Structure 1
Amino acid sequence: MAQDLGAAREGTPPPDFDFSGRVVRVSDGDTVSVLDRNKQQHKVRLYGIDTPERDQPHGQASRAALDELVGSRQVGVVVVETDDYGRTVGTVYAGDDNVNLAMVAAGHAWWYRYYAPHERHLQAAERAARERRLGLWADSDPVPPWDWRRGRR
């Protein structure tokens, strides 16, 4: 299941990273742990995307896709904020490739428009993945994770 990261390039080099390191854990389709050169571990939530929960249809496939993209690899992180759970929220790069964008483009994630309404590249990637029925879009009516979580409370 080799991932084509061509869709994850916007023609410009990635920005300067706030930190970089090796991915030591992929928790799910939108969260990784990165060990920096000072041996500090950062839990990073990928900005602007949301993936199916682990027990939701396509949840395991989304996690596997992210693991294939970044598992045990060196990555750079551009921090957007720290969330209410203490996680770093940011954009992850593997080389020149925007991993957040790659997950949406391959149909493994939704554009999380509520938290990233101005990220039009994510919107365009989601639209293209839907049209091509990639990943979770192969299902006739996939349930967004925010609706899945609401229904389980």
Structure 2
Amino acid sequence: MHRITLALLLLSSPALSATLECRVIGVADGDTLTCLTADKRQERIRLRGIDAPERKQSFGERSRQNLSNLAYGKTATIHWTKRDHWKRIIGSVWVDPADCPGCGHTLDAGRAQLANGMAWWYERYAKEQPQEERHAYEFEQAEARARSVGLWRDPQPIPPWDWRRGKR
């Protein structure tokens, strides 16, 4: 019994993480993509720490296209600690930046979505992010908002969590 309890504690520990290497083969929206692993398994990935506009929402398609420009067709490194109730991996997605294709996986796609004003920092789940990532994401959102880029051009952008609840 003690071994099972210890195993469950270790599995739920945010300090433990896994890394996945895969090729991005699909982009569903501004915060969800599909990867193909080396052993030909498809994995759905939900970018940790952001929430992008829904596809039918204002800026939804632009957000999806931006993530596609950042990641589609590229090899990615996913750092993750959990799956959601839809079995998607929740993690950070790292790819080669477009302006430096040989630099390695140095671009955090979630952070780039925030910097381009294509997503909100998902404060509700901030405690699930490493502290450094949490601060970087908060900063990127504040900067995008101050520069009025992307969805921040709208004087009253509707966060996707409100839009999903019918506050359209």
Q: State the TM bucket, normalised to the shorter chain.
A: 0.7 to 0.9
Higher relative contact order, chain-length normalized (CA < 8 Å, sep 6+): 1
Aligned to 2:88: 87
Aligned to 2:59: 58
TM-score (norm 2): 0.79
Q: Does the residue aligned with 1:131 lie in a helix, a strand or coil?
A: helix
* Equivalent residue in structure 2 for 1:105, among 115, 135, 145: 115
Aligned to 1:74: 75
Q: Does the residue aligned with 2:86 lie in a helix, a strand or coil?
A: coil
Aligned to 2:124: 114
Higher share of residues assigned helix: 2
| Contact 1:47–1:80 (8 Å) recurs in 2 | no
CA distance in 1, matches of 2:88, 2:80: 10
Q: Does the residue aligned with 1:44 lie in a helix, a strand or coil?
A: strand
| Contact 1:17–1:76 (8 Å) recurs in 2 | no
Identical amino acids, percent of aligned pairs: 39
- Residues 1:123 and 2:124 are matched in the alignment: no
Structure 2: segments with no counterpart, 5+ residues: 1-16, 96-104
Q: Does the residue aligned with 2:158 lie in a helix, a strand or coil?
A: coil
CA distance in 1, matches of 2:20, 2:30: 21
Q: Does the residue aligned with 1:151 lie in a helix, a strand or coil?
A: coil
Structure 1: segments with no counterpart, 5+ residues: 1-15
Q: Does the residue aligned with 2:142 lie in a helix, a strand or coil?
A: helix
Partner deviation per Cα, 1:116-151 (whole Å, 9 max, x = no partner): 245111111000000000100011110000000011
* Equivalent residue in structure 2 for 1:135, among 129, 150, 157: 150
| Count of residues paired in the alignment | 138
Q: Does the residue aligned with 2:164 lie in a helix, a strand or coil?
A: helix
Cα RMSD after superposing both structures: 1.6
* Equivalent residue in structure 1 for 2:106, among 84, 96, 99: 96
Q: Which runs of 4+ in 1 moved over 6 A?
A: none
Higher CA-based Rg: 2
CA distance in 1, matches of 2:122, 2:34: 20
